[in-house]
Amino acid sequence: MATMSIRTNDERKYSFEGFCDSIGISVTAAVNMFMNACLRENRIPFEIKADPFWGEENQKRLRTSLEHAKQGKLTKHEIDEVN
């Protein structure tokens, strides 16, 4: 039996341990399941993609909004309170 060591931040470690506990498996079992899926499928078993916030379409929209704000072309919105 081999031992592996990984580095992550404390918050992620504790959150992942809590998640694994909530579904009734150990961190070791979860990591082994991930490794088995990678080897079985010969790929990462989920899609890895960039955050759409950083995509060109959204960045263009943000630049346009920033220009409108600089020019004072802002839209006023009202907030209706509901009780």
Please report whether residue 60 resides in a domain: yes
pLDDT of residue 30: 98
Residue 52 confidence (pLDDT): 86
CA distance 80 to 38: 50
User: HSE of 36 in the Cβ direction (CA atoms, 13 Å)?
Assistant: 6
To the nearest whole number, what is the mean pLDDT of the chain? 93
Flag whether 2 is in a domain. no
Residue 76 lies in a domain: no
Q: Enter the tokens of residue 47.
A: 């899609």
Indicate whether 75 belongs to any domain: no
C-alpha span between 35 and 78 (Å, rounded): 51
Nearest to 45 by CA among 32, 55, 54: 32
Quote the radius of gyration of the chain (alpha carbons, Å): 22
Task: Determine contact, residues 58/52, Cβ cutoff 8 Å.
Answer: yes
Domain encompassing residue 24: 11-70
Q: Is residue 48 part of a domain?
A: yes
Residue ranges for the chain with pLDDT beneath 50: none
